[in-house]
Chains A and B, each alone.
Chain A
Amino acid sequence: MTRLSVPKTYKLYIGGKFPRSESGRVYEVASASGAFLANVAQASRKDARDAVRAARSAVAGWSGATGYNRGQVLYRIAELLEGRRAQFVEEIVQSEGVSADAAGKQVDAAIDVWVWYAGWADKYVQVAGNGNPVSGPYFNISTPEATGVVAVIAPQQSSLLGFVSVVAPALVSGNTVVVVASEKSPLSAISLSEVMATSDVPGGVVNVLTGSAAELAPWLAAHADVNAIDLAGAGETDWVDLQISAADTLKRVLTPEPGVPAPSVERVTFFTETKTVWHTKALI
């Protein structure tokens, strides 16, 4: 007798919890061949605002943690991902219609990218900052620090690797993020949320919305409590309007990239602000 399986309800991830959309909306996610996979929460404007609020309240703790601590927390996610490798492979095979081999490579790459970025947490300050030899009796140092709340439109393809390639770099310096997952293939983003919820990432540091990027991105681009927006996966939307809207609050904007962005320390430093501190030296 075959066992009847217990399918999972895929929900949003906001403030460390897994709510349904307040709107009560869901949309059907289908496999590459068109078969029903899941009813996924279709996030609304209100969900986006809740996510920004959760992200804002997590900024002080996450950006205030030491780089060493953030690095360990991020590394642990990679450890847990590795342990759930089979689940991610299966989800990617189902929703993207790729071979198990290709899905496995994507999961491996996602884990390796995550480890690569985790290692930056206690190093990027040394690479992007420096002491300044000013002409006078002053101690003077420039260091980068987190910009704050970063909204991210994840790449539409390679759902797990795409998600990791945009979320991990923003987290390195202590930003908190609100991510709109791949609309067509959101399952691995939600499963990754479950990994984060059971690791040491504080609630609110990563918030995941599923639904329509075209619907959600304008609210995030216009939101006054969002400091920066990464439009990596917004290439198919009218992203120039998003950039125009983001200008109202002078958000830092990273424009769309085709495919999955390559690992790069510039993705880390883009979402930082350089602070220069001067202090007088006594004349002795």
Chain B
Amino acid sequence: MSFLEYAPAPESKAILNLKKSYGLFIGGEFVDGHGTPFQTISPADESLIAEVASANAADVDLAVATARRAYDSVWSRMSGADRGKYLFRIARLVQERARELAVAESLDNGKPIKESRDVDVPLVAAWFFYYAGWADKLDYAGLGAAPRALGVAAQVIPWNFPLLMLAWKIAPALAAGNTVVLKPAETTPLSALIFAEILQQAELPAGVVNIITGAGDTGAALVNHPDVNKVAFTGSTAVGRAIAKSTAGTGKKITLELGGKAANIVFDDAPIDQAIEGIVNGIFFNQGHVCCAGSRLLVQENVHDEVIDRLKQRLSTLRLGDPLDKNTDIGAINSKEQLDRIRELSNVGEEEGAERWTADCAIPDKGFWFAPTIFTNVSSSHRIAREEVFGPVLSVLTFRTPAEAIAKANNTPYGLSAGIWSDKGSKVLAVADQLRAGVVWANTFNRFDPASPFGGYKESGYGREGGRHGLAAYLQSSGFGPLPELVEGRTPKKPAKKSTKGAKK
């Protein structure tokens, strides 16, 4: 047994108390869906986990109407302090059932249990805990006195961090006083359905949160529903664009958290040990299924060979396999569809002349897997340097000067995140100033915190999630009171008016 071989240490699935099939969570209880039910499987071995209902247009109608009723009759009348108490309850219940949620998440998504256990679920609890405290302090959110909720929020989330994205969406929405209809991703509905049980245990008033499962058409019906006031979407830039188009002229407030192609810049004066760990965490965390992943490594030319050698060494020690095993570093790719895309883009990388290196590791017979892969000799025009792979594939480019690094880093329509590695503080701050990205990690990468705003520039979307800024996405200002009387007969400031012009579109 070499030092790399560990005895299996799988987390038991016995902790889960799964049902054979799940309905839609509307009005505080599970009801039948009227679309064609679908199956959710474990991407690690393709085994069936459960059958899940699909919401058709009528179900979406019902969910939105239920959320509206809960908004009008309960949630908008409740004090902020009480809303906060419900959120605190939810945070505590998530902590109490953390192990169960982590197992469910790894089972359904394929991510290693050490990530779901140590990152996803603790952050979920933290997110609810953070926003719980905001619920009765909205006057201090920076929107003037007595900001108002928007109404019903339609939220559509992706499969890469199923429960964490749910928390990012639901916690600020409820704290601000909105009610919610949320659609989890088709391949990862499980943890959201267990979360629905947590809402029942928390005795959250019926209809305040409704969770409807289904595929893209369910999501489209939800975001385009005329009685929805707010749309929050995390996912691909293509779908984000479609949402921006279909909601144009409706006056709905939109938050879009879309794709990325982050540059992770390593200068020759970087702390190399930490940088290697940061690069690995940047692109191989969660199998690279991360919109803010550091998928473009920009290395200063004179340290390129050293960095790549050490990176390959480090990747050779990563263990790929059973997501439920506590020793696993790299889990399963979430779906066959995603695996196909990663394979296709990797093949294009080779065809375009980049040099491919793949860690030597055994791939399980069943399930969807992709070994950690590095492309060197990549140029900015290669597709693997421009398109989001959303998998464990790192493209390496080089640079000579900070100016070149900045130009290459910004040479993308995306602008979600970026990394800088250097021990020289003044250089880090100067580069951070120039990067067109919403989150810049200096001498670290892929850090998330409920107090810290997250979101992109350019085609990575708009709006922020997390922190005070994330709260603003779910509120409308009541105005800042009388401004200086500068303008005689000027338009009085009125908050978010509804357009009638777009209604006919």
Contacts and interface: CB of A to CB of B under 8 A. Distances in A.
B362 interface: no
B217 interface: no
B111 interface: no
A275 B487 contact: no
Contact of A250 (B241, B251, B488): B241
B447 A109 contact: no
Interface in B436-457: 436-444, 447, 449, 451-455, 457
A275 B480 CA distance: 24
B134 to A, nearest CB: 13
A192 to B, nearest CB: 17
The residue among A109, A133, A147, A243 with the most chain B CB atoms within 10 A of its own CB is: A243
Interface stretch (B91-99, B375-383, B394-402, B458-466): B458-466
A104 B459 CA distance: 44
Nearest to A264: B493
Interface string A153-186: 0000000010001000000000000000000000
Contact of B248 (A165, A243, A262): A243
Interface stretch (A5-13, A194-202, A252-260): A252-260
A280 B444 contact: yes
Contacts of A136: 447, 449
B438 A132 contact: no
A279 B428 contact: yes
Contact of B451 (A127, A134, A279): A134
Contacts of B488: 105, 109
B438 A275 contact: yes
A258 B452 CA distance: 36
A278 B439 contact: yes
Given A116-B486, A136-B447, A247-B244, A260 B491 contact: yes
A38 interface: no
A259 B451 contact: no
A273 B249 CA distance: 23
Contacts of B499: 240, 255
A248 B487 CA distance: 36
A246 B248 CA distance: 9
Given A128-B142, A135-B449, A247-B241, A274 B491 contact: no
B432 A261 contact: no
B224 interface: no
B112 to A, nearest CB: 21
- Chain A residues touching B, range: 35 or more
A99 interface: no
A113 B485 CA distance: 10
Contact of A274 (B237, B251, B453): B453
Interface in B227-248: 237, 240-241, 244-245, 248
A276 interface: yes
B469 interface: yes
A278 to B, nearest CB: 5
Contacts of B237: 250
A132 B241 contact: no
A255 B142 CA distance: 22
A116 B484 contact: yes
B483 A263 contact: yes
B240 A274 contact: no
A263 B479 CA distance: 11
Interface in A185-241: 227, 239-240
A142 B447 contact: no
A265 interface: yes
A127 B469 CA distance: 12
B480 A250 contact: no
A266 interface: yes
Interface of B is mostly: loop
A263 B485 CA distance: 10
Contact of B467 (A142, A253, A265): A142
Contacts of B486: 109, 112-113, 116, 263
A275 B443 contact: no
A273 B438 contact: yes
A277 B432 contact: yes
A252 B462 contact: yes
B19 interface: no
A130 interface: yes
Contacts of A113: 486-487
Contacts of A133: 451
Contact of B441 (A116, A250, A278): A278
Nearest to B496: A255
A244 interface: yes
A140 interface: yes
B490 interface: yes
A138 B484 contact: no
Nearest to A109: B487
Contact of B493 (A134, A244, A262): A262
The residue among B451, B464, B477 with the most chain A CB atoms within 10 A of its own CB is: B451
B484 A258 contact: no
A165 B483 CA distance: 14
Nearest to A142: B453
A249 interface: yes
B248 to A, nearest CB: 4
Contacts of B432: 275, 277
A269 to B, nearest CB: 9
Given A116-B484, A262-B487, A134 B447 contact: yes
Contacts of B449: 132, 134-136, 140
A138 to B, nearest CB: 7
Contacts of B437: 275
Given A109-B487, A136-B447, A240 B440 contact: no
B505 interface: yes
Nearest to A255: B499
B20 interface: no
The residue among B440, B458, B487 with the most chain A CB atoms within 10 A of its own CB is: B487
Contacts of A247: 241, 244-245, 248
B502 interface: yes
A197 to B, nearest CB: 25
B249 A239 contact: yes
Contacts of B117: none
A130 B470 CA distance: 13
B209 interface: no
A132 B428 contact: no
A240 to B, nearest CB: 3
22 contacts: A109-B486, A128-B142, A130-B468, A132-B453, A134-B452, A227-B458, A243-B248, A243-B249, A246-B244, A249-B459, A255-B251, A262-B492, A263-B484, A264-B483, A273-B415, A275-B435, A276-B440, A277-B439, A277-B442, A278-B439, A278-B442, A280-B274
List the 6 closest A-B pairs by CB distance, nearest first: A240-B249, A247-B244, A243-B248, A134-B449, A259-B491, A279-B442
Given A140-B451, A250-B240, A263-B484, 14 more contacts: A132-B453, A132-B467, A134-B451, A136-B447, A142-B452, A239-B501, A249-B459, A250-B244, A263-B483, A263-B487, A265-B480, A274-B453, A278-B447, A280-B443
